[in-house]
A and B are shown apart, each in its own frame.
Chain A
Amino acid sequence: MTATAPEVSTPLLEVSGVTKRYPGVLAVDDVTLSLETGQIVGLVGKNGAGKSTLIKIIAGAEHADEGDLRLNGEPLELHRPHDATEAGLAFVHQDLQDVGDLSVAENVMLGLGYPRKMGLFVDWTELHRQAAEPITRLEADIDPREPVGELSVAKQRLVMIARGLAQQAQLLVLDEPSASLTDEEIEHLFAVVRRLRDDGITVVYVSHRLEEIFELTERVIVMRNGQLVADEPTESLDRSSLIAHITGHEHAQTAVERRASRGVGGRPDAEVVLEVDGVSADTGVHGCSFDVRKGEILGVGGLMGSGRTEMVRAVFGADHRREGSVRVHGIEVSDKHPSESMAAGLALLPEDRKTQGNIMDFSVRHNITLASLDRHRARLRVPAPSGRSEKQATDRRIDRLSIATPHDRQLVRLLSGGNQQKVVIAKWLEQGADVLIFDEPTIGVDVDGKEEIYDIMEELAAEGKAVVFISSEFSELVGVCHRVLVLHEGRIVGELEGDAVTEPAIVEICYSQH
């Protein structure tokens, strides 16, 4: 597949025939593309499609087995990440890579050499002045003296972009830059990206959120199974054709269609399983009360920082409750330890599968059985797990949830994000809770994976479990939830039910609070 280069100028970056193999996997398969100066290019594909590997090769963090790179027509040799920086390529990764204890200015100028006084001491005034330049260019309200660790995620990303500007970057790669940003922050980010494009910087924008791709980019590159499967102007695509490129098969259902086809309706007569009454916590939760019924999927929406995670953590007893009560099947549950909530039938699938959901260096099997290990005793009284019993249970879950893993002894660290999330789900299905709280289960999960997670939640509800589903993507809530609560600053400020559950209605409640 050869990209057509315009006659007028040489492209900024040319990638030709780049191939990268890992043991057992062809991660990048003969990819050829070229990027022009001053373009916003979307790079999309499922988890494991080869996007990250391709980016790592361009960043000099991985070495291609075959193929080569050219920058402004000159061959580009990258032996280490610093070479890419020198060449004017800047990368903002999803996991923020700044140094939290250092100030904004120190982070922006990191690796560029700080200005010196008398050849020895750092010239702080000059450092702050130099760092202020790119920050001003981004129209960001950030004090160069502030420690980066105390900034919001959005501002930390801007600091990373500012570092790229300070390095005179010609190409800026943003990997999932909108994750954990509020809508306003995303708007600002978009404005920044457009301004950079107008200044002649090429921006590669990697995202799973297709709405953003359509709003922001001029051209879309789609990768699947390591190959470049589409490279087209954004305007020639629509949502369903893009999804078809990404997944390789025709199936694109919008949230509204999904809602219509499944007939999402409440069960007002079903038994109330979870009763939350006036729960407050020092983490910023104020008097939250709600019920969840058997067979219901209750959505929890709200902007970033609205206290959704904090509320469910207090309900589960992961954090201490200042006041209020939680009852499961009418029986009060204490907040002493998560194990008490689990015994009562509550389960929390935490927001971050890497730091809270899984033991990353445990095998799939040991993660899945971790919350229900006492059910795998060979002899009932001896607290020693039977490997055979564990394996049977695990294999069943791997099969049911179609977790892509070579075997049940594989380390969870080596699975893709979506499969790691499925391992968390499998652990709690195995534990057998009656009320399952899913905190942002679809973050960083690709299109197919998301669908599978929705299906799992719907199956659980159909089996008579109660499900609480937190999401920042309101369309998801519309797609699967019977009822949606909206939070703002740790308080429940709205509740939508039945046909009233629409995206505009949720957004309306979120923004009418300001």
Chain B
Amino acid sequence: MSEMATAQAPSPESGGRRQDFDLLKVISRFGVIITLLASILIFSILNDRFIEIAGIRTSLNLASPLLMLALGLTVVLAMGDFDLSVTGIQSAAGAIVVILIVNHDWSWLLAVFVGLLFCLLAGSVNGLLVSYAGMPSFITTLATGLILIGTRYEAADGRNITGAKDLPAIYRDFGVGRPDPWLELHTPVWIAAGLAILMWLLMSKTEAGRYMYAIGGNPEAARLSGINVKALRALGFTAVGFMALFAAVTSTARTASSVADSGFSTLLGAYAAAFLGAAASKRTLFNVPGTVLGVIFLQAVDRGLILEGYSTGVRDIAKGCILLLAMAFTRIGASRR
């Protein structure tokens, strides 16, 4: 049977030279990881402070909110959608929580609860517009994100809302916190790690996760297999909102303020991490361990360049180049497959 030919083990005359070691294939498969290891090696040689454990702990702490945002994005990206409103939700939720505590003397728990409701609502609105009203996710979330950023700006006349004195210590602990006795990591790192494990379980171990990847692969085939495509896509946007709350709380707690910032560079960082993670995976799919790797990668490069005394601009250029490089590796691999 000729169809069997594709399934058979290589016959003696057909094997051989095609299955030789192919350097380009290895580079394309492990390009992201190779670049990460190379960067770490170079930065460690350039400056021995790069591998100082205390500094690494601080770096991880700083990267935690980014990871939380990127985790949410991983879910929508896996289903083929974009969410550009994530930093808008984060910024607006952070302002809500800080204002309620600082200006209205709410208990922090209640304020965070209201923030949570807001995030879930904002995410659900995105989900309804995209999944049920059928609007394109890229432009829809760009619009809702702009609205949220603008509202945040107007609510405090474009100023930061600081609350160093008024935010209770227990709330501020979400930003840094006492390090745990074993690994001496700060609270946000543990929260981010917990969320990453949760999301990893969801995406790679549950029925819902399988369905999400099916939707990303082919929404019509998924629907005809009985999968509720609309509900799951909408749920993805709600998950982004959920993650934005954690990013909002940990970042406002760390700086003891809600910063008036478009969140643009954070947004791009989160996307960069998710795409690096996909490029690092075998079948270039968005995935949680990959996203974690992507965040660590970006943070490592940032830290290395800071230690070398480079300015923000140079760091952005370097990160841009690394992204291009990682994508180029993946493309080379794809075209040779």
Contact = CB atoms under 8 A, between A and B. Distances in A.
B206 A21 contact: no
A50 B15 CA distance: 18
Interface stretch (B27-35, B188-196, B208-216, B297-305): B208-216
Contacts of B208: 383
Nearest to A383: B207
Contacts of A373: 207, 210-211
Given A23-B10, A24-B8, A48-B2, A339 B218 contact: no
B11 interface: yes
Contact of A338 (B15, B205, B213, B224): B224
A355 B224 CA distance: 11
B226 A339 contact: yes
Interface string B1-22: 1111111111101110011000
Contact of A384 (B207, B213, B227): B207
Nearest to B15: A24
B7 A356 contact: no
A380 B226 CA distance: 20
B3 A419 contact: yes
B136 interface: no
A416 B227 contact: no
A383 B206 contact: yes
Contacts of A48: 2-3, 5-6
B279 to A, nearest CB: 16
Interface stretch (A281-289, A290-298, A357-365, A490-498): A357-365
A26 B14 contact: yes
A405 interface: yes
A226 B5 contact: yes
A355 B220 contact: yes
B49 interface: no
A449 B3 contact: yes
Contacts of A26: 5, 11, 13-14
Contact of B5 (A25, A361, A411): A25
A371 B14 contact: no
A366 B6 contact: no
A150 B218 CA distance: 24
Contacts of A427: 225
B217 interface: yes
Interface string A445-467: 01011000000000000000000
Contact of B226 (A350, A371, A383, A414): A371
A46 interface: yes
A416 B3 contact: yes
Given A318-B224, A416-B3, A24 B9 contact: yes
Given A24-B14, A338-B223, A384-B205, A359 B217 contact: yes
A11 interface: no
B210 A385 contact: yes
Interface string A401-417: 00011100001001110
Interface string A361-386: 11000100011011000000001110
B145 to A, nearest CB: 30
A357 B210 contact: no
Given A24-B15, A373-B207, A384-B205, A360 B217 contact: yes
Given A24-B14, A374-B207, A385-B207, A224 B224 contact: no
Interface residues on B, range: 35 or more
A179 to B, nearest CB: 19
B7 A406 contact: yes
Given A338-B226, A360-B217, A385-B207, A224 B2 contact: yes
Interface residues of A, number: 52
Contacts of B5: 25-26, 48, 225-226
Contacts of B224: 316, 318, 338, 348, 350, 356-357
A49 interface: yes
B271 to A, nearest CB: 22
Could you say which of B3, B6, B13 has the most chain A C-beta atoms within 10 Å of its C-beta?
B3
Given A337-B228, A384-B205, A404 B6 contact: yes
Contacts of B11: 26
Given A22-B18, A338-B226, A358 B221 contact: yes
B18 A366 contact: no
B29 to A, nearest CB: 15
Interface string A31-52: 0000000000000011111100
A299 interface: no
B224 to A, nearest CB: 6
B114 interface: no
B2 A339 contact: no
B222 interface: yes
B221 A46 contact: no
Contacts of B14: 21, 24-26
B152 to A, nearest CB: 37
A418 interface: yes
Nearest to A448: B1
A18 to B, nearest CB: 15
B201 to A, nearest CB: 8
Nearest to A349: B224
B283 interface: yes
Could you say which of A383, A384, A419 has the most chain B C-beta atoms within 10 Å of its C-beta?
A384
A339 B228 contact: yes
Contacts of A487: none
A50 B14 CA distance: 15
Contacts of B220: 355-356
Interface in B38-81: none
Could you say which of B5, B207, B208 has the most chain A C-beta atoms within 10 Å of its C-beta?
B5
A405 B225 CA distance: 22
B3 A359 contact: no
Contacts of B210: 366, 370, 373, 385
A291 to B, nearest CB: 24
Interface in B218-262: 218, 220-228
A204 interface: no
A350 B10 CA distance: 34
Interface of A: 21-26, 45-50, 224-226, 316, 318, 337-339, 342, 348, 350, 355-362, 366, 370-371, 373-374, 383-385, 404-406, 411, 414-416, 418-419, 427, 446, 448-449
Identify the 3 closest CB pairs spanning chains A and B, nearest first. A339-B226, A359-B217, A24-B10
Given A24-B10, A449-B3, 19 more contacts: A23-B18, A24-B6, A24-B14, A24-B15, A25-B5, A45-B2, A48-B6, A318-B223, A338-B224, A355-B218, A356-B218, A359-B213, A359-B218, A359-B221, A366-B210, A370-B214, A370-B222, A371-B225, A383-B206
8 contacts: A25-B5, A45-B2, A50-B2, A339-B227, A342-B226, A356-B220, A358-B221, A360-B217
